[in-house]
A and B are shown apart, each in its own frame.
Chain A
Amino acid sequence: MPQTYTAWKSISFVALWFAALAGSLSVVAASETKFVGSQTCNSVSCHGRTEPRRVSGGVNGASLQEFALYERHDPHVKAAKTLASPEFQAIIGKLSERPAGPTRATVYHQCAQCHDPEGMAAEAVPSSAVSHGISCETCHGGGKGWLAQHYERDVSRSSLVALGMRDTKDLHVRGDLCASCHVGGALKNVNHDMLAAGHPPLRFELAAYHRKLTSHDEDGKRSHWNDARERIGTKDLEVKLWEAGQIASAKAALALLESRAHAGASWPEFAEYDCFSCHQRLRPSDGNRRAVAGLPQWGQWNLVFAGPAADSKVLNTLRDEMRQSFASQPHVVKVAASNVRKSLGTSLFLEDATSSQLLKLPAEPSEASKSWEALCQRYLAQRVLEKSIGDEFRKLELAGRISTSDRVSFNKQRGEIDHDLAAVGLQLSFADNKREWPRVLAIPQGIEQVESDLTATAGKLRMLQAFLEPRR
């Protein structure tokens, strides 16, 4: 969906660009000797074809050109290059030069957790085709145990998992995997020191990141996997992907908060808070007291929609703790965050995750819903809806259940929503490259305007859904 992609691109926080380079897995797995190296994966008879494998004329299942596609199109392939960039040198320099601060080596080790898991394992696997950065086994798991079995016709997913392969087809597993870097964790802590040194903030949303990888744009860019079969076979896969991402992000964010509070050494951790609470130009007070005047708001990026998956009582306890006083006692926060994390279920909905369910889900909590972060998440959720309703309509179309006039009408409505959302996306995006300041925050009443725009597009999405439902 090129339009969607372009619109999404307009929210081009630097975060996304950089963070997209970062994804990967725990280095613990990489440093063990279960790795066989991507050289093994990318031979021309396996995943290293330059043309897709065709079965009776069509591409079905694994195209066997995964490695080529990965190398050509996937941003993760550049992860190692990031570590050679002058920007990285500047960041590591700033972080290691402070008095009594960490050494360069310590900082590098920390960065490599996400940016160079392959490099950290390179000693053990000298044959690795990609000796730095992120490669096959970073995400799919060290191949020693399952290499010999995974191409066999009758092998089951569960038996491969038992052998050490990661079940990336499971959306929750995939969500956790991506969130482990794109949100972070105990060893992958993009804290405020790092942000101030120049690292972009992490703002992850699984479905949007997928669209970034899978969208075909002018360059014919595409992901190294083909999920057409799942999309056809699963109702509202896009919503399910989004749901898995929301829960995985919340889980990772809470674990990160726990570890930050546990360490305590640099508590309070600013990275937990809404950047724009503090980072704003001083302006005359508008008289609206949103929370406590002069206290930063806890950043809600990873919890705007995740509430229903948690026990609301413990979640409110944590929210109160983070809201009431800026410098909460770290051990109290740690326990509160841990309670919420443990209470997290695997679903945000009482029923199967579908677009009609998502349309009913309110963004919360109310006092943070006016923040830029909450508005972005609402925007992203509406993008998910727009795509998912579109996908479902396309399925009906392929089944021959849509008349020409219906198609025209649906496409017209959808085009309008896309247009409206593109305008909202522009408001939420940063004004230009030099001044990284979302437009919406730079104009008076901007937040209120975007809020009402999103309410309007939500109404239109509901109408689109209503148009689709009877034709199923």
Chain B
Amino acid sequence: MTHPGRNITRWLFAAAMAAGLLVDCQFPGFVAAQEPVQPAKPPLDYTNTDNCILCHSDTAKMKDHADFIGIAPADLWSKLDKHGQSFLLLKDKSRELTNRILGFDLREAFADDEFASLSEDAKLADKVQTVQSCFRCHATWPKDAEHPTGKLTEPVEPLSRGVSCQACHGPAGSWSEAHSGKWWRRVSHEAKSKLGFLNVRDGVVRTKLCASCHVGSVAEGKFVKHQWYAAGHPPLPGFEYSAFAAQMPAHWKPLADKGDFAGRTAASPVVPDGKAERIVLRRRNIDIADADIKAHYREANFPAAKDDAPFANRPRTQEVTLSGVVVLKTYAGLAGDYAEEAAKGNKQFAWPEFALYDCVACHHELRRQDGLASRPKLSGPPGRPPMPRWTRALLGLSTERKPQIDDDLRALELAFTQRPFGDPQQIAAAALKLAPQLEGLCQEVGAAKFDEDRAAKSLAILLSSSATADVRDYASARQVAWAVQGLRQDQEGIPYGFGASLDPEQQQSQDRIAAFFRRDNRDELLLTLPARQENSVAEDLPKFLRAMGDFDPEWFAERLKAAKGK
């Protein structure tokens, strides 16, 4: 099948490069003499997503990169992944629920029946603002994004595309052409990020990115308030990166599953340094300096990594560990930012905001004294809603952390319960103190080695009796269960990527691991997420809420004990 559009683009690009070379040859020093100016706002520089789809929907179109990519991400995305439907969910599939959450009809905030752009009517400003905040997660519309035409009511991407390529990979106006060459593999991650490219190959970047929606971020305008939950927004279900990514279905091949692609390490086949392409970029005021072209892919993308770590790491072991830190960091940031605004008296940040606390602290049935043993164990004194316990369920895996982090975390927890709902000022201060330390820990974990030893150690940490005694609530139990499964899969050497083929022995191990947290052959904890297009979170909600309410900590402790025995 031919795609004339794509060919034309390629041709134009090739022609432009040739012209650039010509200029370079004819007027040596001309470009170099001119001080390249950075594009004004590279991170806001969105391109039409069709440009991405053009190549990424077909492996044949990326045959030059077969060694590196090997799959058709846009194809997987559109056929299997739900993220692309996140806006249509609001507009069509769950419109009634959307309207109930908003308190008005979604259409009211729009200027047109096609839902193409938001209303500019000043009387509707509040509604428009509310609706816009939904699109921070339910479409591609970051807080700082500006429409190319300068209209703030127009999305940078058609909303109907939902969460599309650039929502995660960054605005591609400055790099969409550049990244199609093999030389891009050698470009330093700093240089790439200056162009707005998000280095999602870096687990830290990737996990933070997912957590910004799946946990939330006040700074990025991504926050589900309690009023919305009460009106029916499904609870954000205790995000754990490794499990979410594995079930997604992933439209990427993990480094662990990639072969020896060109430019991978010093020992791999060499790729060019992109000199010609860089000259073309300079003409658009986009500069990638010689110093930003590294010897090979590993050095460019993982400068801090030890040896062959990014390729040799047990992927899930690293991910669950990283997830444990990033989730806590994201949550603490969210709570701290919110509390800071509330302490300033910002009316948009009413205090207390129940969404900041552990759901099950309040949402449990009332039980007699003798029933207390089965009540969720939460940090802090009885009767005071604490910060969500599950956000720290996997922190124990990051053995790199210093005792100071645990102390400061305790201070944050205490700030939540010293008085009912805590003092926002104290919470903000404690979160602020914790943030740089957790950021440092992210980087350390991101660069650490996750070999077989680490996987075994991590499993031992999770299954230690003090850790298992702590898990008394559903969300924490899911964190731990997902982590145990991931670690076991790594130990068994089960291939990571989505749809990877397993040999019979691996399949057997995989089935055994999956069965471990089943009860009477039922997925008691709902570890399988409604992650496919045919699944619906809204339809699954009664099942999910029942699982939450029926969670049996005694049974779970029993399972962990059994896991330890193995």
Contact = CB atoms under 8 A, between A and B. Distances in A.
Contacts of B227: 292-295
Interface string B97-124: 1001000000000000000000000000
A348 to B, nearest CB: 31
Main secondary structure of the interface of A (DSSP, over half): loop
B362 A278 contact: yes
Given A195-B383, A292-B227, A281 B418 contact: no
B545 A284 contact: yes
Contact of B231 (A99, A265, A282, A293): A293
A278 B362 CA distance: 6
Nearest to A194: B383
Contacts of B226: 294
Interface in A397-447: 433-437
B552 to A, nearest CB: 13
Contact of B541 (A265, A267, A284): A284
Q: Bin chain A's interface residue count.
A: 35 or more
Given A198-B372, A436-B368, A282 B381 contact: no
Contacts of B229: 294
A267 B351 CA distance: 12
Contacts of B419: 265-267
Contacts of A287: 100, 232
Interface in A284-304: 284-285, 287, 289, 292-295
Contacts of A360: none
A367 to B, nearest CB: 16
B366 A100 contact: no
Nearest to A90: B369
Contacts of B359: 282
B231 A285 contact: yes
A293 B542 CA distance: 19
A222 interface: no
A296 to B, nearest CB: 9
A434 B368 contact: yes
A472 interface: no
A156 interface: no
B384 interface: yes
B548 A193 contact: no
Interface residues of B, number: 42
B235 interface: yes
B363 interface: yes
B235 A282 contact: yes
Interface in A154-204: 191-198
Given A94-B382, A99-B414, A279 B366 contact: yes
Contact of A436 (B97, B354, B365, B383): B365
A433 B372 CA distance: 13
Contact of A294 (B231, B369, B383): B231
Interface stretch (A39-47, A64-72, A268-276, A350-358): A268-276
Nearest to B541: A284
A294 B354 contact: yes
A284 B384 CA distance: 25
Contacts of A195: 383
Interface string B366-390: 1111111000000011111000000
A363 to B, nearest CB: 23
Nearest to A13: B366
Given A283-B545, A284-B232, A434-B370, 11 more contacts: A90-B369, A101-B381, A198-B369, A278-B362, A284-B542, A287-B232, A294-B227, A294-B229, A294-B231, A294-B354, A295-B230
Interface of A: 14, 87, 90, 94, 97-101, 191-198, 265-270, 275, 278-285, 287, 289, 292-295, 325-327, 433-437
Interface of B: 97, 100, 225-232, 235, 350-352, 354, 359, 362-372, 380-384, 414, 418-421, 541-542, 545, 548-549
